[in-house]
Chains A and B, each alone.
Chain A
Amino acid sequence: MKKSYKIDVDCANCANKMEEAANKTAGVKNAVVNFMALKMDVEFEDGADVKAVMKDVLKNCKKVEDDCEIFL
C-alpha cells in the first residue's frame, strides 16, 4: 500500500535525513521524501498498521531532525 503525506522541513539535507529515518522504520517498505513538493510518499509492508507505522516514522524523523513535521 502507498500513501502520501504532507511534511514540513527546512532544508534539503534535513529532508534526506528524514527519508533515511523513515526507510529504517519497521513496516515501511520504501519511503521517498520530496523536499521541493514537501511531500513524503510511503510504501508500507503488507499487513502493516499504517497509523502505528507512521507514528514511528514521525518519532524517528524527529530524532534526526527536530524541526520537521509530518501531517498525519
Chain B
Amino acid sequence: MNRKQRKMLIRILVAAALMVVIRVLYAFLGEGEDVAIKEPFWFLMYMVPYLTVGYDILRKAVKGIRNRQVFDENFLMAVATVGVIALALIKKNGDYTDGIAVMLFYQVGELFQSYAVGKSRRSISALMDIRPDYANLEKDGEIEQVDPDEVEPGSIIVVKPGEKVPIDGVIIDGKTTLNTSALTGESVPREADVNDEIISGCINLTGVIRVRTTKAFGESTVSKILELVESSSSRKSRSENFISRFAKYYTPIVCFSALALALLPPVVLLILGKAPRWGMWVYRALTFLVISCPCALVISIPLTFFAGIGGASRAGVLVKGSNYLEQLAKTGIVAMDKTGTMTKGVFEVYGIHHSTMDGAKLLEIAAHAECFSTHPIALSIRRAYVTGQMWGIDEATGETVLLSSDSENVHTIAKERVGSVEEIGGNGIAALVDGHEVVIGNARLMERYGVEYIPCHHVGTIVHVAIDGAYAGHILISDVVKPTAAQAIREMHEAGIRKTVVLTGDAKAAAEAVAKELGVDEVRSELLPADKVTAVEELLARKSAREVLAFVGDGINDAPVLSRADIGIAMGALGSDAAIEAADVVLMDDDPVKIAKAIRIARKCMRIVKENIIFALGIKVLCLLLGAFGIANMLMAIFADVGVMVLAVLNAIRALYVDSV
C-alpha cells in the first residue's frame, strides 16, 4: 500500500469506530421519550465520522459542479448520502448511520480498487523487467560499470553469469547458455558460442562472455520491446471506448431517472387522492443513485486488457494494443507465408539417395567439390557436412525430424584436397577431389556429361553427383518444415480457425506437398511478393465482415501483406526491427504453435471482458429494479455496488494467467 492508500485505510477505520461508538451512546442516551441529550447534538456527533470518511468526495462533487463536470460517481455518492442524512434530519429519527455506512463502503470499494490496480500494475511491470541497469564496459583492459545508454556500437562489453545482456552484439570470447524466457516465453535455455549474435534482454546463465556491441542501446532489441509494450495499451479497443462513452451518458440518465422516481410516484399518488409518502420515494431514489455507480465497468474493462496484454507478453506474444487483441480474438481465417513461417527458410540437406557409397562419404566429396562456391545450395551441403545434421521425413508420423546429428564429430573441409574447379554456368560444378573427377549439379549437367542418373520423386532441389563418370547418387535439398508446423495448424483449427491458407512463391508440386503434410485447407503457389497482397485482398473480399483475416509472416519482404491484412502477425521477430514495425502482433520466437496460443489468449481476454460487462450490467439492472420497488435498501445497494466491482476486478486479473491457455 502506498501513502495515499494507508491514509484512506486509517480514515475508514477511524470513521467506522466513531460511528459504532456514537451509535452505542445513542442507544443509551438518545432514544426514548425522556432523553438526556436532544437531537441537534446527535446530528453534529454523526457528522464527525461522516466528514472524516467522505470529505474528499463532497469536495470533488462541489468542484465538479463548479467546473460543469457535474455527473460523476462523486456527485452520485454526495447526493445520495447528503440526501439520506437530510431525510433523517427531517424525520427527526436520529438515524444517520445509513448515510455514513454508504460512504464508508464506497470508500472501502475505492480503496480495494486502487490496491488491486496498483498490485496488477506492479506484477505486470515485473514481468517485463528486462531493462538492463548497467553494462560492464571494457576499456583499456579495465572493466567499468556504465549506463547502457553510454555504450557506443562497436564497444566491448563483458556479461557475467546472472546478468542481463544489455545491448545487442556478437560474442567474441566465451561460451554460455542464455535464458530467453523473458523475451520469448521459451524456457529451454539457448546455447551461444563465439561469433553468435546475441540479443539484449536475455539472461546470461553459465559463462562469462565478451561481446562486441553492434547497436546502440536505444536501437537494441530490449529498448524496442519495452517501447512497444509500454505504448501498447494506449491503442484502445472498441470495448474500452464503448465503456468510456457509456459512462458519459449513463450517469446523467441515472440521475434523471432517480429524480423522476422521487417526484413522479408521489405526484401521481397525490392526484389519485392518496398519501404521497415523499420520504419513502426520495429514499428509493437515493438508493437508486447508489446502485447505479458505474465503477465496476469503468475499472474492470481496461484492467482486463492490460492484464491480457501483460500475460501475452509473458508468453512471448507482443500485442501492440487492446484493439488488436480484440481483433485477434475474432480471427476466422489465417493466411500464412510458407518460407520462414511454416518452414525454417534455410535450405537443408534432406536426404542422400541411391548412393553407391556411404552417404556420409558422398556428402564429404560433394562438400569438398562445392567448397569454393557461394551458392545457397553449396552452403547447405557444406553446412550439412560440417555439422553432420541431416533432416528427413519420419515415415510413421509424416513429420519432419532431424534424422542424424553427428555433432560429436566435427568435420572440417580441407581445401588442399580439391584440385581444379570449374563452374558450369548455372548447372553445377566439375572439380577434382582427392584426384577423382567429380561432377556435381542438376539433371542437365548429368546429361551433358552423359551420365545416366536416377530422378528423384521427392520434392526439393536435387543435386546429382557423378564420380569418374559413374553415377554416385543424389542429394536432396529442401527447405525444412518446422518441427511444430503440423501441430500449429492442428491447434489453429482446434482454436476455431475456419480456414488456413498457405501463400508461397514455390512451385505448385512443392507447395502442395508441404500443404498436405501440414494439413492446411488451401494453398496458393507460385506467387510473387506482389501477388501475395492480391491473394490476401481476394481472401478479404470473400470473407464475411465480422470475421477477421490474420496474416502470419516473418516480416522479411512481406511487410505490405502484414499491413494489408486485418491483423498482421510477425514471427521470429527477435532482432528484426522491420517485423516489429510492420506487424500488429509480434511473436518473439519462430515457433508457429504460438499463433494458436496468441489467438487463445486473445479469446480468453475477450471472454473475460464480456463476462464483466454482462455480469456488472446484469447485477446493476437487477438491483436498480429492486431498489425502485423498495425491495433493496441503501446498505444492500452499496454492498451490491462494491461487491460487483471486487468480483469484476478479480475476474479481470485472471487475464494475466496465460500458461495453461
A residues apposed to B, CB below 8 Å: 4, 10-13, 16-17, 32, 34-39, 41, 63-64, 66-67
Contact = CB atoms under 8 A, between A and B. Distances in A.
B299 A64 contact: no
Contacts of A13: 72-73, 244, 247, 294-295, 298
B244 A36 contact: no
Contact of A37 (B233, B236, B244, B298): B233
B537 interface: no
B234 interface: yes
Nearest to A16: B244
B117 interface: yes
A41 B63 CA distance: 26
Main SS at interface, chain A: mixed
30 contacts: A10-B4, A10-B114, A11-B110, A11-B113, A11-B295, A11-B298, A11-B299, A12-B298, A12-B299, A13-B73, A13-B244, A13-B294, A13-B298, A16-B247, A32-B235, A32-B236, A34-B233, A34-B234, A36-B117, A36-B121, A36-B124, A37-B230, A37-B233, A37-B234, A63-B67, A64-B64, A64-B69, A66-B60, A66-B63, A67-B60
Contacts of B113: 11
A32 B232 CA distance: 11
A11 B4 CA distance: 13
A13 B75 CA distance: 13
Contacts of A41: 231, 234
Interface of B: 4, 60, 63-64, 67, 69, 72-73, 110, 113-114, 117, 121, 124, 230-231, 233-236, 244, 247, 294-295, 298-299, 302-303, 305-306
Contacts of B298: 11-13, 16
A4 B69 contact: no
Given A37-B230, A39-B231, A66-B60, 18 more contacts: A4-B231, A11-B110, A11-B114, A12-B299, A12-B302, A12-B303, A13-B72, A13-B73, A13-B294, A13-B295, A13-B298, A32-B236, A36-B124, A36-B303, A37-B121, A41-B231, A63-B67, A64-B64
A23 B75 CA distance: 24
Nearest to B5: A10
Contacts of B302: 12, 35-36
Contact of B234 (A10, A12, A32, A64): A32
A55 B227 CA distance: 25
Contacts of A37: 121, 230, 233-234, 306
Contacts of B124: 36
A16 B73 CA distance: 13
Contact of B121 (A4, A12, A38, A66): A38
Contacts of B121: 36-38
A27 to B, nearest CB: 20
Contacts of B303: 12, 36
A16 B231 CA distance: 17
A10 B4 CA distance: 10
Contacts of A63: 67
A10 B56 CA distance: 13
A49 B477 CA distance: 61
A67 B7 CA distance: 15
B306 A36 contact: yes
Contacts of B60: 66-67
B107 to A, nearest CB: 12
A12 B72 CA distance: 12
6 nearest A-B residue pairs (beta carbon): A36-B306, A32-B234, A16-B244, A13-B298, A12-B299, A34-B234
A38 B118 CA distance: 10
Nearest to A33: B234
Nearest to A38: B121
Contacts of B247: 13, 16
Nearest to A8: B4
A15 B230 CA distance: 17
Contacts of A36: 117, 121, 124, 233, 302-303, 305-306
Contacts of B63: 66
A10 B60 CA distance: 13
A49 B537 CA distance: 43
Nearest to A36: B306
A6 B247 CA distance: 25
Contacts of B295: 11, 13
A64 B117 CA distance: 22
A32 B64 CA distance: 22
Among A11, A12, A66, A67, residue most surrounded by chain B Cβ atoms (within 10 Å): A12
A20 to B, nearest CB: 9
A4 B234 CA distance: 11
Nearest to A14: B72
